[in-house]
Amino acid sequence: MQQEQTQKQIFSSSSKHHGCGSVISWEQIEEGIKGSFQRGFFRITFSKEAIARIQISQSESFEENPYSVIKSDPFYAFDLDEEEKYLYLKTETLKVQLNKVNGVIKFYDSQGHLLNEDDTLGTAWIGTEVNCYKKVQEGERFIGLGEKTGGLDRSGKAFTNWNTDYFAYGVGDDPLYMSIPFYVGIHSKGQYGIFFDNTHKSVFNFGASTNRFMYFGAEDGDMDYYFIHQASVSGIISEFTNLTGRMELPPIWSLGFQQCRYSYYPDSEVLTLAKTFRDKDMPADVIYLDIHHMEAYKVFTFDGEKFPDPKSLIKHLKSLGFRVIVIMDPGIKAEENYLPYQEGQSKDLFVKYPDGAEYQGQVWPGWCAFPDFTKSKTREWWAEKMAFYTDAGVDGFWTDMNEPASWGQFTPNLIEFDFEGEGASHRKARNIYGMQMARSAQEGSKFNSPEERPFILTRSGFAGIQRYAAAWTGDNVASEEHMLAGVRLVNSLGISGVSFAGYDVGGFAGEASKSLFARWMSIGAFSPFYRAHSMINSNDAEPWAFGEEVEEISRNYMKLRYALLPTIYSKFYSSTQTGLPICASLAIDYPLDQKVYHSAYENEYLFCDTFLVAPVESTKEITKVYLPEDDWYYLYTDEFYAGKKEIYLDCPLNYLPVLVKAGSIFMMQNVVSNTSQINDGVLRVHVYKGGLGSEFIHYEDDGLSTNYQSGEFSERKMSYDPEKMELILGKPSGNLGSAYSEIEFYFHGFQLVTVTVNEKSHKVEEKDFAFIGKLTEFDPLPEQEHPYHEIKNLKTIKIKNDKEEIKISGLF
């Protein structure tokens, strides 16, 4: 009877909330402190002066996630003070206060401003579920969390991290394919980031159904989070990506236009597709082969009927300037005579039930076994199998269905993974499965083509996925709402460390209208990842499939994209160094400007630090745009606007609202049909007059190999100083010469007759210039005429590209 009563008490207590309680004991360790609460154990350490790690567990040994954090070396330069009720750990940037009475933690900046604090409930458990309850500071907003739908500001909403295959998801649905448990809190006293390093299903509640606190927690595992503070949101993102890694420099062809369909087959259709791009003068670099390239949907096969000679096909595509990317799904068909299945079984590479039986789920090929990518042996085997594709000439790999997805959408939680030898159930391993498949694909690409940079595209991932792959936002829908939701998803992924991201232009599910596709193509040109993709059993959705007008609009923005590649590629390189996004929500640079969170303006973003893009539905002919602090030029006419105000802009289908920040510098080249085509040798540098100057790092390398890592690059800083009225091109660094023999400067907003180039007078020419080509007037009726914008009498000079410093003076 007594034993039964004890069991009832244990069960009852496990279903109730239990806080940590007071500090029972503590001791200093080299990198911080550790100790015990009444219920649980804690450790507070620093990995940098700006990053504190908080670990709280019910066990004396703390759990570790071996996949996300790559730079967590202990940081020892901190001071430790004790008062009657409090312990203080201080660095030059951050102060952490631990209340010994109730376990509550507070974070302050170096000036003593309160950044973040626990609610009095602190960290607590309900059974195995662990949560950390935080007070919301006055006026506090929350951004980030990666691939999450909804508004820019997460306040008042709750989100779940559980990687989910979600076909045709709604613009407010959650969860989706990828989980990145990192957010940034912003208020008038400062900003901070929190990365919750727990791979179990987790929840972030930013005040949904409660006005007392926000909280984050997981259904199991430790409370293990990194608290990051810097003086700017960009500084916080940079610290987070230093912690979890940054993307590697991708091959330049992956920044060009990419065309996909579920599916292009047989091989003759693929060739027709490639030829049509070239015949229609539409620049493009990549064609995808979706699941119908395979025999019975089995990975590491080609369908012998549809693709009888894949090697010759791919060789021919390359002669036309196209790269080929193939899809790879994780499910290995459970078929006795299928070699990958035989090998997986014999080498013990598949996910299992606790009793050792092989787990199978149903996917495209039928019943499938699933490789355990949390096991190093499996990743090595997958790399070896990928030689099948690289031998055929395949250039890139698209990891899909890697949540992992299966029919029924309910993978049993008891199945077991290796988890780098530690062992883990599906509950702990699911969220990192897709990331580890992407890792396997990247390692396989490097193993089989060691001289070339890999390109991996993934649907699923976790914090740190940017080290291995670009991301796209899954099976979206051809609608105006989805087009704008995709912009927010990409911007949020950028906040969360994933710089290389995009959406299916035109929408995957459903069919885009003519106007929707045209607008989406223009917005996609200002996205890091630029791919059109559509679903089987739908109308053709290539850029020429919607009529002549849409074809011309698409061509114009595709050409603008290729003309801007020197800027885009340079900014990709910069992102590999800083971790900052290519598409940056205005909340990054203007976090305390309340207007940037307004539903009318939350979709706006800065592309490559320079272009203010204001996405707008295709159904609108005029739109309201918010211009934050700074001055701005309308891209297509050079019309000048002061910042901190709302303006109205016309937005006909052929002109996406785009402005340029005053004081900016960016680069262009002549339009090429693909990135392997040689440019005309002229680098076109656009400089915009402004009260504040700027710097631009122009970066070049061969765009394909890893030789840049051993110095084979050219890097040159360009600085515009409005006070001195001069533009300085520093001496290039690196062992590679520039691909451009001449530089043509375009001076926007300047009143120039002559300038001085390295102390010699140089006459300024004038020319008319258009960023977007004129549309053909197919209908002769006057009311059908399209607007056309051209910048008249733009000031320009052309000089030789000297390897020494170049100074241009007299810019007024």
Catalytic residues, by residue number, are 400, 403, 475
CA distance linking residue 71 with residue 245, whole number of Å = 8
Q: How far apart are the first and last CA of the chain?
A: 92
Helix (H, G, I), strand (E, B) or coil at 486: helix
Q: Exposed (0-12), middle (13-18) or buried (19+): which is 228, by Cβ within 10 Å?
A: buried
Q: How far apart are CA 582 and CA 574, in angstroms?
A: 9
Structure token pair of residue 550: 């849409």
Q: Are strands 682-688 and 742-748 parallel, antiparallel or unpaired?
A: parallel
Tokens encoding 300: 């590491």
Burial 356-371 (b: 16+ CB within 10 A, else e): eebbbbebbbeebbbb
d(CA 522, CA 500): 18
Question: φ and ψ at 673, to 5 degrees?
Answer: -80, -20
3-class secondary-structure state, position 528: coil
Instruction: List C-alpha distances in Å: 527 to 170, 216, 578, 582, 806.
Output: 21, 31, 19, 8, 32
Pairwise CA distance, residues 207 & 138, whole Å: 13
Q: Is the peptide bond before 263 cis (omega within 30 degrees of 0)?
A: yes
Reduce the DSSP state of residue 18 to 3 states and report it: strand
* 732: Cα separation from own chain's centroid: 30
Per DSSP, the three-state class of 390 is helix
Instruction: Confirm if 109 and 94 have CB atoms less than 8 A apart.
Output: yes
What's 504's DSSP letter? E
Contacts 24+ apart (CB under 8 A), 9-15: 14/126, 14/127, 15/126, 15/127
Distance of CA 772 to the CA centre of its chain: 27
Three-state SS across 146-213? CCCCCCCCCCCCEEEECCCCCCCCCCCCCCCCECCCEEEEEECCEEEEEEECCCCCEEEECCCCCCCC
Amino acid at 625: V
Bridge partners, 728 (sequence order) = 719, 807
d(CA 330, CA 305): 23
